[in-house]
Amino acid sequence: MAAHEAALLKHLVTAMIGLLDQRESSSPSDELEEITGIKTGHSQRPGDPTLGRLLPDFYKRDVDDPLPLDASETLNAALRSLHEPEIIDAKRVAARQLLDTVPDNGGRVELTEEAANAWIAAVNDLRLTLGVMLEIGPQGPQRLPADHPLAAHFDVYQWLTVLQEYLVVVLMGARSS
């Protein structure tokens, strides 16, 4: 890994951890949490589209869903309140493991299977955050002209995609041998 790639990866992961930390620190206080020690989180979907992509709703209502709209919103609120803290913790752990294992000045990257899985999770989250900025939809990314203000971000998105693919291929090879 080149030194500039390592620095970029560290910068992006650190920024993502900051987003997750802000979300967690803005959670409402809960008396039950103080008594039981069980963390609870927000009951509302994040207003920030990037955080909304990292922490999506648990239940997506279909058009022909028999569950009333208010019931699905209540279900999402309850599930989010219960599980969002764990999800944030898992994302943060994966991101920190990447930070702990990326070489400071670039160089060869050797990862355990556990660390490689953490990298895959963290890189996926980075791709999700950039995907929101680049408005990447279900059809995938559209190439941007070189003079477009977000062209460099698109290149980073593509690089993260390749990095994630390499990690998956290496893990698949390790498991099949």
pLDDT, tens digit, for every residue of 92-150?
A: 999 999 999 999 999 999 999 999 999 999 999 999 999 999 988 887 777 778 888 88
- The structure's pTM equals 0.88
Q: Which of 13-22, 91-100, 129-138, 167-176 has the lowest mean pLDDT?
A: 167-176
In this prediction, residue 43 has a pLDDT band, given cuts at 50, 70 and 90, of confident
In contact, 39 and 85? CB cutoff 8 Å: yes
Structure tokens of 56? 């999506």
pLDDT of 20 reads: 97
Q: Which of 7-21, 68-82, 125-139, 150-164: highest mean pLDDT? A: 7-21
Query: Beta partners for 106?
Result: 104
For Cα atoms 89, 94, 98, give the angle at the middle one, nearest 5 degrees: 145
Domain limits, the chain: 3-175
